[in-house]
Structure 1
Amino acid sequence: MIVENNVPLQPYNSFGIVARAQNLVRIASEADVAELRADPRWRDAPRFVLGGGSNIVLTGDVKPLVLKVEIKGLRLVEETPRAWIVEAGAGEIWHDAVQWMLEHGYPGLENLALIPGTVGGAPVQNIGAYGVELQDRFDSLDAIDLDTGRGFTLDAAQCAFGYRDSVFKHVRSGPNDFGLSGRALITRVRFRLPKPWKAVVGYLDLERKMEETGNFTPSATDVFDWVCAIRRAKLPDWRVLGNAGSFFKNPTVTPEQCADIIARDPKIVHYPMDDGSIKLAAGWLIDACGWKGKSVGNAGVYERQALVLVNRGGLENPVTGGEVMTLAKAIQTSVYERFGIRLEPEPVVV
């Protein structure tokens, strides 16, 4: 185990924000965590777990010890008449893992193709796209309690998945609270991929692809290719134009609130939910407030999708975390003043 000092974090966050880690250690196995805890210099040091850096906004240098998760590995754990159980190391690139599973005959995650980040970050955020959420394909995960050094396993119920939420995003506030933010390092994730496979194509953009192609019985590879094409057309490649993906969660409102908004803005994009609430498209709300294409310093709103904030300064004059958050707060104010809705950011602000 080597603890690196004064490490640039610009390559490790998809926004491309310039920041440094005072100290950083690469975690390639569970043994690295054990070795770290055995070292009296680092056993009780504050820690920050870093995966793919695709869902964070760095507002300055990171003082806690950065644990850069780089645990690899992909394998079929079990096959039953009802499902394939596939395990991936937390440090695997998410899209690469999805593609590997598809190529090896384990479909089910194709709707989540091309989402940036690593496998370990997926359950933290309960990532979702095009009609599928991680919790729909989740089996279990392994993690290490950084306070005690003990390994543990969680199933879906114990992860307390919600919309872009999980137990890993909540801080423990009492002895009976199971919040794991800052306490757990995810090492491996297992997926339950149902058999027989069935295409999930109820999402509007995928329905359009079926109409365009005349293919109404797509294979998993077809869905994968369609999702990749849709995302590339709508969203910027973070390696070319820094961003953290969708910056705000789609808010939910009551049917009465939605009816009130529709009376004033009939074109608002909205989706009925199973629990009776209505989900509104945050990108539409932001666009309606005139933010698409606008900038604050080097932080901008993407021209093709108002839900995405981007780094307009590139590598030479990169955006700062302060500029990103100033723009985000201005957007939140605009949306609240017009619609009475408070947008909640998806990324973690560090």
Structure 2
Amino acid sequence: MGGYTLIENAPLVARNTLRVAARAKLLAEIRDASKLPELLDFPAVRAGRLLVLGEGSNILLTGDVDGTVLAMETRGVHVEQDGEVARIAVAAGERWDDFVRWTLGQGFAGLENLILIPGTVGAAPIQNIGAYGMEVAEFIESVEAWDQVKKRVVTLDRNACAFAYRDSLFKREPDRFIVTAVRFALPRTHTLRLDYAGIREELERMGVDKPAPFHIAEAVVHLRTRKLPDPAVIGNAGSFFKNPIVEVAQGETLKREYAELVAWPGNDSRWKLSAAWLIEAAGFKGMREGDAGMSNRHALVLVNHGTASGHELWQLAQCVIEGVHARFGVRLEPEPVVIGSEYE
């Protein structure tokens, strides 16, 4: 069929970075976004649930998908130069890391702190991906999506996307929107973000005293490579837990009790706590139950050492959630979408 391919009883083990051996009743690989209305009108697709999947780097499958998995495999990057700002429309199926490296090669700034994040461009606004002091929402001008309620393509500007910390309208209404393209506004120059998680120290090690965006990207690659396990080597979905947000009073109480607590006071009378510190302090870093484990390289990362099921991985994650809550009175939340659980 032109623009898409349908596969029944499709294995998903190679389509999620935690390497969970789940299956989909139907897999639809779409290469032409204009064919979405036709595809979604198939009786077999309309009859069950629909799960949109990019590279599967932000998902935990705790069972098979009794419905259709829609894999966005669209490609395309279109640039409109507007003085010192480039407006770039990118197809949802493009790989995020490839796109970031392309922007740096073209001399555009803004996304350097977000290099080496796995996943697709279409997934970036859903999660409002962020790393090293930056969130992608800062540079998104608009998002194009198929609206399953209005049955048409809509374009939502940054405000309409309702971005928040690891959150967006698309995440809160997962059954309504299918992201088809993202439009970025990237400057040639901007204020570099250096004051987060060792970036300045890494630049010093590199011998860089006047950093450019590509230097920041190189520093972040070094940091991420040292700290985070490679999904190609061991199954993982990157940081599995969000940094929890707490009221000032709770943050100050914890800081008095645990002087070494890593926390970032915010501008909205709340504190962001380091989930990695909480997990390690609670004794879960490197923990392993069968093939399900927490990485010994980074406490935030849930890993599959071999053939752990999604259910086994989720059980371990819940053990961490309950253990941290019992110790610190703070409840962690998962970053990835957990399919087949209370978080659906």
TM-score normalized with structure 1 length: 0.92
Cα distance in 2 for residues equivalent to 1:322 and 1:120? 27
The residue type paired with residue 316 of structure 2 is L
| Match among 102, 110, 114 for residue 112 of structure 1 | 114
Cα distance in 2 for residues equivalent to 1:41 and 1:12? 21
> Would the aligned equivalents of 1:126 and 1:161 in 2 still touch at CA under 8 Å?
yes
> Would the aligned equivalents of 2:97 and 2:116 in 1 still touch at CA under 8 Å?
yes
Cα distance in 1 for residues equivalent to 2:130 and 2:9? 34
1:269-348 maps to which residues of 2 (within 5 A)?
Answer: 269-313=262-306, 318-348=307-337
Cα distance in 2 for residues equivalent to 1:39 and 1:302? 42
The Cα offsets for residues 119-172 of structure 1, whole Å up to 9 and x where unpaired, read as 1100000000011101111111111123453100011111110100001111xx
> Would the aligned equivalents of 1:37 and 1:43 in 2 still touch at CA under 8 Å?
yes
1:69-80 maps to which residues of 2 (within 5 A)?
Answer: 69-76=72-79, 78-80=80-82
Cα deviation, residue 82, structure 1: 4.4
The alpha-carbon distance between structure 1 residues 261 and 146, as it changes in their structure 2 partners (threshold 3 A), is same
Cα distance in 2 for residues equivalent to 1:276 and 1:341? 17
| Match among 37, 42, 51 for residue 40 of structure 2 | 37
The residue type paired with residue 346 of structure 1 is E
| Match among 126, 133, 146 for residue 128 of structure 2 | 126
2:14 is the counterpart of 1:11:
yes
Question: Which residue of the partner structure matches residue 135 of structure 1?
Answer: 137
1:1-350 maps to which residues of 2 (within 5 A)?
Answer: 1=1, 2-43=5-46, 45-76=48-79, 78-170=80-172, 180-313=173-306, 318-350=307-339
The residue type paired with residue 165 of structure 2 is Y
> Would the aligned equivalents of 2:162 and 2:168 in 1 still touch at CA under 8 Å?
yes
Cα distance in 1 for residues equivalent to 2:235 and 2:275? 20
Number of equivalences: 336
CA RMSD of aligned residues (A): 1.4
> Would the aligned equivalents of 1:37 and 1:149 in 2 still touch at CA under 8 Å?
no
Q: Which has the larger displacement, 82-91 or 286-295?
A: 82-91
> Would the aligned equivalents of 1:81 and 1:195 in 2 still touch at CA under 8 Å?
no
Cα deviation, residue 255, structure 1: 2.4
> Would the aligned equivalents of 1:33 and 1:149 in 2 still touch at CA under 8 Å?
no
Cα distance in 2 for residues equivalent to 1:37 and 1:202? 46
- Aligned residue for 1:336, secondary structure, equals helix
Structure 2: where are the runs of 5+ without partners? 340-344
- Aligned residue for 2:160, secondary structure, equals helix
The residue type paired with residue 16 of structure 1 is R
> Would the aligned equivalents of 2:61 and 2:338 in 1 still touch at CA under 8 Å?
yes
Question: Which residue of the partner structure matches residue 174 of structure 1?
Answer: none
> Would the aligned equivalents of 1:85 and 1:193 in 2 still touch at CA under 8 Å?
yes
The Cα offsets for residues 95-123 of structure 1, whole Å up to 9 and x where unpaired, read as 01101111122221110000011111000
The residue type paired with residue 62 of structure 2 is T
> Would the aligned equivalents of 1:8 and 1:21 in 2 still touch at CA under 8 Å?
yes
TM-score normalized with structure 2 length: 0.94
Cα deviation, residue 254, structure 1: 2.3
Cα distance in 1 for residues equivalent to 2:32 and 2:176? 17
> Would the aligned equivalents of 1:296 and 1:326 in 2 still touch at CA under 8 Å?
no
The residue type paired with residue 318 of structure 2 is K
The Cα offsets for residues 175-197 of structure 1, whole Å up to 9 and x where unpaired, read as xxxxx311211111011113433
The residue type paired with residue 125 of structure 1 is Q
> Would the aligned equivalents of 2:108 and 2:188 in 1 still touch at CA under 8 Å?
no
Structure 1: where are the runs of 5+ without partners? 171-179
Determine what percentage of the aligned residue pairs are the same residue: 44
Cα distance in 2 for residues equivalent to 1:104 and 1:271? 34
Cα deviation, residue 41, structure 1: 4.1
The residue type paired with residue 122 of structure 2 is G
Question: Which residue of the partner structure matches residue 342 of structure 2?
Answer: none
- Aligned residue for 1:53, secondary structure, equals coil
The Cα offsets for residues 225-257 of structure 1, whole Å up to 9 and x where unpaired, read as 111111000001111111011111101122221
The residue type paired with residue 182 of structure 2 is V
- Aligned residue for 2:66, secondary structure, equals coil
